[in-house]
Amino acid sequence: GHVENFSDPLVDCKKCKTRFREDHLEGLWEEKGISDGSCPECGGELTEARQFNLMFTTHMGPVADSGSLIYLRPETAQGIFVNFKNVVDTGRVKVPFGIAQVGKAFRNEITTKNFIFRTCEFEQMEMQYFVRPDGADEAFEEWKARRMAWYVERLGIKKERLRFHQHGPDELAHYARDAYDIEYQYPFGWQELEGIHSRTDFDLKRHGEYCGKEINYLDPADNSRYIPWVVETSSGLTRSVLVTLMDAYHEETIGEDKNGRPDVRTVLHFHPDIAPDYDTMKDNTVTLRFRDSMEQVRVPIASLAERMRKEIREYKRN
Ligand SMILES: [Zn+2]
């Protein structure tokens, strides 16, 4: 499906050859006060929109024939659907459950800009949460609330700079039941940070069609058999880092400079969970917290790296 659909409509300028995403043109025209639909850069004539696939292609093996053509994944989700049955058969999980993955994704973006907001190689965090079809709407509301809370309560992002944007009929994928973006107010405007999607049984059904064996689930609760529905949360790890940094920047006035003007300095005010604390200032120590035991120890910053290497080396899975 990605080879057919993972694409953006693009237009080219016939004169200066600059390439634009069609959905970005409206904004650029408005910005530059252009009303005749011409090139925002040079005023030249634009071509009709053409589909431009966002996937990177390469070849596997020493011979670059068409048989060895492969694609770098444009998102991490597909591996989760492929492994659904393995996880059910070996993980002793019962619906509802989720499979989450963090990893690299690659997109052949034509406009990479705004620092690490849009890059060709980035880090994604995706989760597919599998539910009974009649529980999909409830799970969707639950994950909307939990993901928003993650940004506000865990990362300490300011509430007023976050909002939900519901996809309209023109933005919604044909199989999607409902979709919301969590948007952040970046210095360059409100843009997506994470997507929460109610995807029905589309992906598992399609995977079943192509591998020739329907993928379904026998629910031990009532012995019913169904294809689980999916609530997906898809977030940019790279973007979360960007947002955490941007949100922490503050300007503070610290008196006056020698000309009597306010002396303003820029400081980073991180959320207390992320930032060094008051003891750090006194004795140069930080807290090291162990995930499994929740035990906390104070460690001098100077020996932090060494201590972490030791703990990782000696770590034993329970
Ligand atoms: Zn042009």
Rounded distance from Cα 49 to ligand 1 centre (Å)? 15
Q: Is 156 helix (H, G, I), strand (E, B) or coil?
A: coil
Residue 8 pLDDT: 76
Rounded distance from Cα 64 to ligand 1 centre (Å)? 35
Closest CA to 124 of 190, 195, 175: 195
When pLDDT is cut at 50, 70 and 90, the band that residue 318 belongs to is low
When pLDDT is cut at 50, 70 and 90, the band that residue 289 belongs to is confident
Rounded distance from Cα 10 to ligand 1 centre (Å)? 14
List residues, by chain if needed, whose CB lies under 5 Å from ion ligand 1. 13, 15-16, 39, 41-42, 44
Using one digit for the tens of pLDDT, what is the confidence trace for 207-218?
Answer: 889 888 888 899
Rounded distance from Cα 93 to ligand 1 centre (Å)? 56
Rounded distance from Cα 154 to ligand 1 centre (Å)? 45
Rounded distance from Cα 171 to ligand 1 centre (Å)? 28
In sequence order, what are the residues at sequence separation of 6 or more whose Cβ sits closer than 8 angstroms to the Cβ of residue 62? none
Using one digit for the tens of pLDDT, what is the confidence trace for 117-137?
Answer: 999 999 999 999 999 999 999
Both tokens assigned to 237? 């790890």
Residue 32 vs residue 144, higher pLDDT = 144
**What is the average pLDDT across 238-245?**
95
Q: Is 96 helix (H, G, I), strand (E, B) or coil?
A: coil
Rounded distance from Cα 87 to ligand 1 centre (Å)? 52
Q: Is 95 helix (H, G, I), strand (E, B) or coil?
A: coil
- Rg of the Cα atoms in the chain: 24
Rounded distance from Cα 40 to ligand 1 centre (Å)? 7
Residue 44: CB atoms within 10 A of its CB come to 15
Residue 22 pLDDT: 86
When pLDDT is cut at 50, 70 and 90, the band that residue 157 belongs to is very high
Q: Which residues of 179-202 are buried (b: 16+ CB within 10 A; e: fewer)?
A: bbbbbbbbeeeeebbbbbbbbbbb
Contact 77, 126 (CB under 8 A): yes
Rounded distance from Cα 25 to ligand 1 centre (Å)? 12
Residue 23 pLDDT: 82
Instruction: At 261, give phi and psi (nearest 5°).
Output: -90, 150
| Eight-class DSSP state of 13 | B
Rounded distance from Cα 32 to ligand 1 centre (Å)? 13
Residue 176 pLDDT: 86
**What is the average pLDDT across 239-246?**
95
Rounded distance from Cα 297 to ligand 1 centre (Å)? 60
**What is the average pLDDT across 77-102?**
92
By percentage, how much of the chain surpasses pLDDT 90? 50
Residue 2 pLDDT: 64
Closest CA to 196 of 234, 149, 148: 234
Residue 137 pLDDT: 95
Both tokens assigned to 46? 């634009």
Q: Is 157 helix (H, G, I), strand (E, B) or coil?
A: coil
Give the dihedral sign, CA 114/119/124/128: positive
**What is the average pLDDT across 277-293?**
83
Residue 3 pLDDT: 66
Rounded distance from Cα 22 to ligand 1 centre (Å)? 14
Average pLDDT, the chain: 89
Helical (H) or strand (E) element with 255: strand 249-256
**What is the average pLDDT across 83-109?**
93
Q: Is 208 helix (H, G, I), strand (E, B) or coil?
A: helix
When pLDDT is cut at 50, 70 and 90, the band that residue 1 belongs to is low
**Would the pLDDT of 279 be above 70?**
yes
When pLDDT is cut at 50, 70 and 90, the band that residue 94 belongs to is very high
**Would the pLDDT of 38 be above 80?**
yes
Both tokens assigned to 140? 């969707």
Residue 130: CB atoms within 10 A of its CB come to 26
Q: What's the 3-state SS for 101-155?
A: EEEEEECCCCCCCCCCCCCCEEEEEEEEEEECHHHHHHHHHHHHHHHHHHHHHHC
When pLDDT is cut at 50, 70 and 90, the band that residue 90 belongs to is very high
* Percent helix, strand and coil across the chain, each to the nearest 5: 30, 35, 35
Rounded distance from Cα 28 to ligand 1 centre (Å)? 13
Residue 219 pLDDT: 93
Separation of CA 54 from chain center: 16
Contact 236, 222 (CB under 8 A): no
By percentage, how much of the chain surpasses pLDDT 70? 97
**Would the pLDDT of 199 be above 90?**
yes
Helix segments in the chain, DSSP class H: 2-5, 22-32, 77-82, 84-91, 136-149, 202-211, 237-248, 278-283, 304-313
